[in-house]
């Protein structure tokens, strides 16, 4: 059903990201949250007192070791006695939080809002193998279906691998290992200019990607996002306020012109999840395009910050969002679409694979990067993408545009 | 009030008898909800960064459950007690969902569904992924496949563990449309892990037809250490050269701050057997060593015909994990995949340290 957007125009007037690190020994998530807030208000050249409300993007209670992890932050970030809402939607938590804040501002409930994403993932530690990663994976494992799947050893990797293998069953010639290796290598080059990235200096060759070990077949170590600790924040405002803030800060408003989300069935089979596709990403993109008036994303979008949990999923997500046809996602490389000089820049931040995946903060970091690209390179339009939950069940897309 | 007292007493009595039964069950089954080896001791440590100390505390966040299986009780009790698999059929559209995750069909304005038994043979909806790097909770079952099977009589797919009776599950053994049989574990607790599947091509017709086929009725291949042919002079020369290079690499790894992190807190004595010789590999909390020695009681054995396979892995030219998966390297205990991952990380961390130093 076609929908007409009738709300107030909303734009981003400030943004920040903390350094994304494998482990922050020096800071708790309280300090990371405040750090991102401080930087975002500084970027917008406003006082925190000018902000009406906050929306928190924090994915997993177990990571923060509190079932209401946002509550200590309220006072610490200078938002005492103001509204605060927490959103949690798996990997797409960040974009859903932006959408929630956008709804509040666009509806006229608030004029200026802070969107704050933070996650401290690698405090989790597996004492039997003396490393953090298995415990982080285990912690995310608690996100799976608690009756029929968790106990089987459900993990984010095996869940996304299921979706990718089902796609490969339908399109056996696509997602060639040589192509996924080239994409990973390309992202590792792009991260070089992102000083906030966890792996800024970890440039890899396609050969190294091909030679890296399997984590879950068909995913190899250098094709998978890394778990990170960090925070990111946006300040959003309604049109009149946004323009006033922009005039004062000297930074143009980047408008939020399209928003779309979709959550699919969590189970597969007839009449349930669209097996062999990532349909949630397709629906989310179509909704966002409709709102933003986009007909041909490849011509009309200059930069994409995509939630690349896995390289193969990056490719399928690009196909689902109509940048390339389904079954020909390898065109992204083979036709040079996302390679240097190509039609669209994908993950200039290095994405979640090289910048890092601080879950609740990840999509907000992606929005921060997209805004930077739009402002600094004078681009017209960018797309921010998020995915989450089991079998890529959740999809979220936000369109950002130059003033 | 008079009526409520006996009722309350009854509930109390029932609870007591339940608790007593549970105590009995716990006494018979010594397995704990959280095995002891996963639980750290109370303690803390300090990490010093740029001259400043930061505290790390051993901690846990845990909750125990007396979890009601509610409307799923019939499904789980069916697995446990009767070795049968239940689905639910919509009384309006007729769609059969397995597992029976709902009582009313959302596609038919919530028309009621009815439970029914479905078959124990089915086809894979798609190619299942194989997990090699499992979390501590699932190490005992790795590597494992988890796929979705559409059983005979069902329309939707049941998530299920996939194994082969022939050894380690490798890509290609189970793919989309592979016909599989549901196997019941000998000891069942009323959980989805009471069952798994194997390809019907590995079973006899009688086994395929049998309802409630159990794991002990299968012919599982036992792990067997590979035997290598006698080494030629050339093999011995290659081995000696590789051994020398491996020793130098091990020294480099032990000196690298980053590489040491890959094997921090880990201790293993490994016997490495090849066509041209046998030696010992030691991992000891950051130290990595290679010695010409035959270990009498190693933690586990690695066997590879050509030592170059292992050396390449340690040089970060191809993953050691892949060598195990592709059967170029044999390990005596599947659980030791964890150590193999650590060796891969050791190689990667050293390579990364060198690269980052060069980049900076």
> How large is the average pLDDT for residues B137-147?
84
Tell me if A127 and B58 make a contact (CB, 8 A cut-off): yes
DSSP state of B78: I
| Res B28: pLDDT | 52
Taking CB atoms and an 8 Å cutoff, what residues of chain B touch A148?
99, 101, 158-159, 192
Q: Does B189 contact chain A (CB < 8 Å)?
A: no
- The beta-strand segments (E) located in A109-242 are 112-120, 214-217, 219-220, 229-238
Neighbours of B114 (CB within 10 A): 12
Q: Which residues contact A366 (CB under 8 A, 6 or more apart)?
A: A94, A305, A306, A307, A349, A384, A385, A386
Tell me if B126 and A203 make a contact (CB, 8 A cut-off): no
Substitution target in B88, B146, B313, B351 with the highest count of A β-carbons within 10 Å is B146
Task: For residue A114, give the 3-state DSSP assignment.
Answer: strand
Q: Does B59 contact chain A (CB < 8 Å)?
A: yes
Query: Can you name the residues that pair with B131 across neighbouring β-strands?
Result: A216, B144
Most confident of A127-136, A156-165, B2-11: A156-165
Sign (positive or negative) of CA dihedral B248, B252, B253, B254: positive
Confidence band (pLDDT; 50, 70, 90) for B29? low
User: Quick check: B13 pLDDT over 50?
Assistant: no
Q: Are A77 and A49 in contact (CB under 8 A)?
A: no
Task: Encode pLDDT of B266-296 as tens digits.
Answer: 999 999 999 999 999 999 999 999 999 999 9
Cα–Cα distances (Å) from B290 to A194, B240, B244, B272, in that order, read 40, 13, 9, 10
Task: Encode pLDDT of B316-331 as tens digits.
Answer: 988 898 898 888 999 8
Q: Which residues contact A284 (CB under 8 A, 6 or more apart)?
A: A260, A261, A262, A385, A395, A396, A397
| C-alpha B102 chain-centroid distance | 29
Q: Are A312 and A218 in contact (CB under 8 A)?
A: yes
Tell me if A202 and B355 make a contact (CB, 8 A cut-off): yes
| Res A185: pLDDT | 98
Encoded tokens for A365:
């970091």
CA nearest to A380, candidates A339, A337, A336, A344:
A344
Q: Are A347 and A383 in contact (CB under 8 A)?
A: no
| Res B1: pLDDT | 36
Tell me if B338 and A129 make a contact (CB, 8 A cut-off): yes
Tell me if B72 and A134 make a contact (CB, 8 A cut-off): no
Q: Does B232 contact chain A (CB < 8 Å)?
A: no
Domains of chain A in start order, with CATH, are: 10-124+229-255 (3.40.47.10), 142-225+257-401 (3.40.47.10)
| Res B53: pLDDT | 97
pLDDT higher at A99 or B12? A99
Range with lowest mean pLDDT among A144-153, A231-240, A300-309, B136-145: B136-145
The C-alpha of B47 sits at a distance from chain A's nearest C-alpha, in angstroms, of 8
Task: Encode pLDDT of B65-77 as tens digits.
Answer: 999 999 999 999 9
Q: Does B127 contact chain A (CB < 8 Å)?
A: yes
| Res A288: pLDDT | 98
Taking CB atoms and an 8 Å cutoff, what residues of chain B touch A161?
129
Q: Alpha-carbon distance A54 to A115, whole Å?
A: 6
| Res B27: pLDDT | 47
The C-alpha of B28 sits at a distance from chain A's nearest C-alpha, in angstroms, of 22
CA nearest to B125, candidates A280, A275, A152, A392:
A275
Phi, psi of B255 (to 5 degrees): -90, -15
Query: Can you name the residues that pair with A394 across neighbouring β-strands?
Result: A263, A388
| CA contacts within 13 A on the Cβ side of B123 | 8
Q: Alpha-carbon distance B251 to B314, whole Å?
A: 12
| Res B325: pLDDT | 82
Tell me if B136 and A25 make a contact (CB, 8 A cut-off): no
Encoded tokens for B153:
């009589």
| Res B25: pLDDT | 46
| Res A198: pLDDT | 97
Question: Which of B72, B156, B175 is opposite residue A147, by nearest beta carbon?
Answer: B72
CA nearest to A218, candidates A142, A311, A130:
A311
Query: Can you name the residues that pair with B114 across neighbouring β-strands?
Result: B89
> How large is the average pLDDT for residues B175-196?
97
Q: Are B324 and B223 in contact (CB under 8 A)?
A: no
Confidence band (pLDDT; 50, 70, 90) for B3? very low
Substitution target in B45, B70, B118, B135 with the highest count of A β-carbons within 10 Å is B135
Phi, psi of A54 (to 5 degrees): -130, 145
DSSP state of B47: E
| Res B271: pLDDT | 96
Tell me if A129 and B136 make a contact (CB, 8 A cut-off): yes
User: Quick check: A139 pLDDT over 90?
Assistant: yes
Tell me if B38 and A128 make a contact (CB, 8 A cut-off): yes
pLDDT higher at B35 or A145? A145
> How large is the average pLDDT for residues A251-266?
97
| Res B355: pLDDT | 81
Question: Which of B134, B156, B265 is opposite residue A269, by nearest beta carbon?
Answer: B156
Taking CB atoms and an 8 Å cutoff, what residues of chain B touch A217?
129-130, 132, 171
The interface pTM score, or ipTM, of the predicted complex is 0.93
Task: Encode pLDDT of B198-220 as tens digits.
Answer: 999 999 999 999 999 999 999 88
User: Quick check: A181 pLDDT over 80?
Assistant: yes
pLDDT higher at A31 or B166? A31
Q: Alpha-carbon distance A154 to A270, whole Å?
A: 22
Neighbours of B116 (CB within 10 A): 14
Q: Which residue pairs from A61-66 have beta carbons closer than 8 angstroms and sit at least 24 positions apart in sequence?
A: A62/A124, A62/A139, A62/A142, A62/B61, A63/A119, A63/A120, A63/A121, A63/A123, A63/A124, A63/A139, A63/A359, A64/A29, A64/A119, A64/A120, A65/A123, A65/B59, A65/B61
Query: Can you name the residues that pair with B112 across neighbouring β-strands?
Result: B104
A200, burial (CB in 10 Å: exposed 0-12, middle 13-18, buried 19+): buried
Task: Encode pLDDT of B76-111 as tens digits.
Answer: 999 999 999 999 999 999 999 999 999 999 999 999
Maximum CA extent, chain A: 57
Q: What is the mean pLDDT of chain A?
A: 96
| Res B69: pLDDT | 97
| Res B326: pLDDT | 81
Q: Alpha-carbon distance A121 to A351, whole Å?
A: 17
Confidence band (pLDDT; 50, 70, 90) for A130? confident
Question: Which of B40, B322, B342 is opposite residue A214, by nearest beta carbon?
Answer: B322
pLDDT higher at A284 or B32? A284
Taking CB atoms and an 8 Å cutoff, what residues of chain A touch B358?
none
Nearest Cα residue in chain B from A267: B157
Q: Alpha-carbon distance B173 to A265, whole Å?
A: 28
| CA contacts within 13 A on the Cβ side of B54 | 12
Neighbours of B80 (CB within 10 A): 16
Confidence band (pLDDT; 50, 70, 90) for B34? confident
Task: Encode pLDDT of B228-240 as tens digits.
Answer: 999 999 999 999 9
Tell me if A162 and B266 make a contact (CB, 8 A cut-off): no
B264, burial (CB in 10 Å: exposed 0-12, middle 13-18, buried 19+): exposed
Task: Encode pLDDT of A337-395 as tens digits.
Answer: 999 999 999 999 999 999 999 999 999 999 999 999 999 999 999 999 999 999 999 99
Nearest Cα residue in chain A from B267: A129
Taking CB atoms and an 8 Å cutoff, what residues of chain B touch A201?
355-356, 359-360
Q: Are B134 and B144 in contact (CB under 8 A)?
A: yes
Give the Cα-Cα-Cα angle A217, A218, A219 (nearest 5 degrees): 95
Sign (positive or negative) of CA dihedral A192, A198, A203, A206: negative
Q: Does B300 contact chain A (CB < 8 Å)?
A: no
CA nearest to B260, candidates B342, B177, B176:
B342
| Res B12: pLDDT | 38
> How large is the average pLDDT for residues B355-359?
79
Task: Encode pLDDT of B45-62 as tens digits.
Answer: 999 999 999 999 999 998
Q: Does B1 contact chain A (CB < 8 Å)?
A: no
Question: Which of B40, B54, B322 is opposite residue A26, by nearest beta carbon?
Answer: B54
Task: For residue A360, give the 3-state DSSP assignment.
Answer: helix
What's the whole-model pTM score?
0.89
Q: Does B146 contact chain A (CB < 8 Å)?
A: yes
| Res A3: pLDDT | 66
Domains of chain B in start order, with CATH, are: 71-217 (no CATH), 233-359 (3.30.1050.10)
Tell me if B135 and A213 make a contact (CB, 8 A cut-off): no
């Amino acid at each position: 059903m076609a929908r007409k957007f009738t709300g107030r125009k909303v734009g981003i007037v400030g943004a920040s990201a903390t350094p994304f690190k494998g482990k922050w020994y020096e800071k708790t998530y309280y300090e990371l949250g405040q750090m991102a807030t401080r930087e975002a208000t500084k970027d917008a050249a406003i006082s925190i007192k000018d902000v009406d409300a906050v929306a928190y993007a924090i994915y997993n209670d177990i990571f923060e070791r509190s079932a209401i992890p946002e509550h200590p932050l309220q006072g610490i970030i200078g938002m005492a006695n103001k509204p605060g809402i927490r959103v949690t939607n798996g990997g797409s938590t960040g974009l859903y939080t932006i959408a929630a804040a956008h709804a509040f501002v666009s509806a006229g409930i608030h004029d200026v809002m802070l969107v704050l994403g933070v996650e401290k993932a690698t405090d989790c530690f597996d004492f039997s193998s003396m490393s953090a990663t298995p415990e982080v994976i285990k912690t995310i494992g608690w996100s799976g279906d608690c009756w029929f799947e968790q106990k089987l050893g459900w993990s984010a990797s095996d869940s996304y691998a299921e979706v990718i293998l089902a796609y490969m069953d339908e399109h056996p010639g696509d997602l060639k290992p040589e192509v996924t290796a080239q994409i990973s290598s390309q992202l590792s080059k792009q991260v070089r200019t992102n000083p906030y990235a966890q792996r800024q200096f970890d440039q890899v060759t396609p050969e190294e990607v091909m030679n890296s070990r399997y984590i879950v077949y068909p995913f190899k170590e250098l094709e998978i996002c890394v778990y990170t600790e960090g925070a990111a924040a946006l300040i959003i405002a309604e049109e009149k306020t946004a323009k006033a803030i922009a005039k004062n800060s000297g930074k143009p408003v980047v408008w939020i012109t399209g928003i779309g989300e979709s959550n699919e069935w969590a189970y597969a089979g007839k009449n349930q999840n669209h097996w062999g596709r990532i349909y949630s990403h397709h629906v989310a993109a179509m909704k966002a395009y409709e709102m933003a008036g986009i007909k041909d994303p490849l011509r009309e979008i200059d930069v994409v910050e995509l939630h690349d949990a896995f390289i193969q999923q990056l490719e399928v997500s690009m196909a689902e969002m109509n940048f390339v046809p389904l079954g020909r996602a390898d065109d992204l490389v083979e036709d040079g679409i996302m390679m240097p000089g190509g039609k669209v820049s994908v993950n200039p931040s290095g994405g979640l694979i090289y910048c890092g995946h601080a879950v609740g903060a990840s999509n907000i970091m992606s929005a921060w990067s997209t805004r930077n690209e739009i402002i600094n390179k004078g681009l017209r339009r960018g797309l921010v993408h998020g995915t989450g939950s089991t079998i890529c069940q959740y999809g979220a897309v936000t369109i950002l545009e130059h003033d | 009030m008079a009526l409520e007292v006996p009722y309350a007493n009854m509930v109390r009595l029932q609870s007591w008898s339940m608790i007593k039964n549970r105590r009995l069950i716990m006494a018979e089954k010594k397995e704990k909800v959280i095995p002891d080896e996963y639980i750290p001791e109370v303690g803390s440590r300090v990490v010093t960064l740029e001259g400043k100390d930061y505290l790390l505390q051993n901690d846990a966040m845990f909750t125990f459950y007396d979890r009601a299986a509610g409307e799923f009780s019939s499904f789980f009790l069916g697995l446990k007690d009767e070795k049968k698999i239940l689905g639910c059929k919509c009384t309006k559209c007729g769609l059969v969902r397995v597992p029976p995750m709902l009582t009313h069909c959302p596609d038919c304005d919530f028309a009621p569904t009815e439970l029914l038994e479905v078959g124990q043979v089915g086809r894979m909806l798609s190619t299942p992924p194989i997990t090699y790097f499992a979390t501590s909770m699932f190490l005992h079952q790795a590597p494992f496949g988890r796929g979705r099977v559409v059983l005979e009589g069902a329309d939707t797919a049941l998530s299920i563990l996939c194994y082969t009776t022939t050894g380690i599950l490798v890509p290609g053994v189970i793919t989309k449309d592979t016909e599989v049989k549901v196997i019941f574990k000998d000891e069942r607790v009323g959980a989805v892990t009471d069952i798994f599947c194997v390809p019907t091509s590995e079973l006899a017709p009688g086994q395929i037809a049998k309802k409630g086929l159990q794991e002990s009725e299968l012919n599982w291949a036992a792990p067997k250490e590979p035997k290598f042919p006698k080494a030629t002079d050339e093999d011995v020369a290659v081995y000696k050269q590789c051994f020398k290079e491996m020793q130098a690499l091990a020294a480099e790894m032990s000196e690298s701050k980053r590489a040491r992190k890959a094997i921090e807190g880990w201790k293993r004595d490994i016997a490495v057997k090849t066509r041209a010789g046998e030696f010992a590999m030691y991992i000891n909390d950051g130290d990595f060593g290679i010695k010409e020695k035959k270990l009498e009681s190693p933690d586990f054995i690695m066997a590879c015909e050509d030592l170059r396979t292992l050396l390449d892995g340690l040089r970060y030219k191809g993953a050691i994990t892949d060598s195990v998966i592709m059967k170029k390297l044999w390990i005596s205990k599947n659980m030791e995949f964890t150590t193999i991952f650590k060796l891969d990380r050791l190689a990667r961390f050293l390579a990364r340290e060198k690269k980052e130093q060069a980049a900076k």
